[in-house]
Amino acid sequence: MARWTAPDSFEDGWDLYEREMRNVGRKPKTLEMNRDGWERLVRYVTEQADAVVSDIEDMTKDHVNAWVAYMRIEAGTDPQSLCIYFRTARPMFTWWAEEENRVSPFHRATQPPEPERPVPVQTDDVVNQLLAVCQVTKTDTGWRRLIALRDDAMIRTFFDVGVRRGELHGMLAEDWRRAVDEVHVRESKTYTRDLAVSPKTAVSIVRYVRERERYMRNRVEHGKLWVNRHGKPLTPSGINQTIDARRRQADLPHRLKPQHFRHTHAHNFLLNGGEEGDLVKTMGWNSRQMVDRYGASAAAERARAAQRKLRLGDRLR
């Protein structure tokens, strides 16, 4: 699908921004999100604003505030989505302001408040219920056995190391490093990281890989690790469908997404004494800011655990 084309004065600025960001290794997915937010704002100020502008130099914080109000009131944009659009539109204008020695229209603009809607973390019991319906039975043969082993390994990997859905989808067979029980994760062509898996997860992945090689034999013409029953790469939507199918099979009431496991991993990492700096590295974040957002729904539990561990009251006579 062709993307919307802005007026030349805006499009030229975006083209230069995109080129520079690619040169410094900005992830393609990040640039796609930046483009989406940028397009929404530019389209508003050039087509729908009360005082339509034709050049980026004419934009002010009033235009940004008017756009936020329009998105919230007239367009009925979800509060969480509005926050995302605001954050993703801002980087290009910040870069432009530094490049041209001007003031960004986002400078002192009113940022929409983050909604209080933290992603729920999953208990061990919930994850164990999912794993229970992935167990191989005596009657499971052929592709049924392969899929059962795959789903068990996939759920354990999500829970154990907190990878993103896209990262799991992008794993190659060679990214499973059996000798050291690690998975190699490709965030992009530029950024990669290695994550250590627990012994049980390692056993699960080994069983799946062995069955994948046995069942597929020479039918796999690609290097992807996770495959469907026909030997083709498991798609991102296929991963979502797999998780939800196992959720329904386990008779769990609430819908589950791969992102829920990522939040759960962050919560468990911190609850069990993991350092915030280490979490930033293992999760593939660029700053500590994300620590407060992941596992936020269970932050009170971690705070109570920290209190019990400190036992400050026991220092008194």
pTM: 0.71
Residue 182: in which H helix or E strand, if any? strand 182-186
* CA-derived radius of gyration, the chain: 23
Residues 158 and 273: their CA atoms lie apart, in Å, by 20
Top-confidence residue, 204 or 51: 204
**Domain-embedded: residue 222:** yes
**Quick check: 17 pLDDT over 80?**
yes
Residue partners of 263: CB distance under 8 A and separation at least 6: 118, 119, 120, 121, 294, 295, 296, 297
Residue 297 has a pLDDT of 72
Residues 312 and 317: their CA atoms lie apart, in Å, by 11
Our separate counts of H helices and E strands in the chain read 12, 3
Residue 228 has a pLDDT of 92
Residue partners of 265: CB distance under 8 A and separation at least 6: 158, 159, 160, 161, 162, 283
Residues 172 and 184: their CA atoms lie apart, in Å, by 9
Please check whether residues 171 and 213 belong to one and the same domain. yes
**Domain-embedded: residue 173:** yes
Please check whether residues 143 and 292 belong to one and the same domain. yes
Residue partners of 170: CB distance under 8 A and separation at least 6: 186, 224
pLDDT in tens, 79-126: 989 999 999 999 999 999 999 999 999 999 999 988 776 788 899 999
**Domain-embedded: residue 145:** yes
Q: What is the residue-averaged pLDDT of the chain? A: 90
The CATH number given to whatever domain includes residue 148 is 1.10.443.10
User: Using 50, 70 and 90 to split pLDDT, how confident is the model at 188?
Assistant: low
What residue numbers bound the domain in which 193 lies?
Answer: 124-304
Please check whether residues 141 and 217 belong to one and the same domain. yes
Please check whether residues 23 and 159 belong to one and the same domain. no
Do residues 93 and 102 lie in contact, with contact meaning Cβ atoms separated by under 8 Å?
no
**Domain-embedded: residue 310:** no
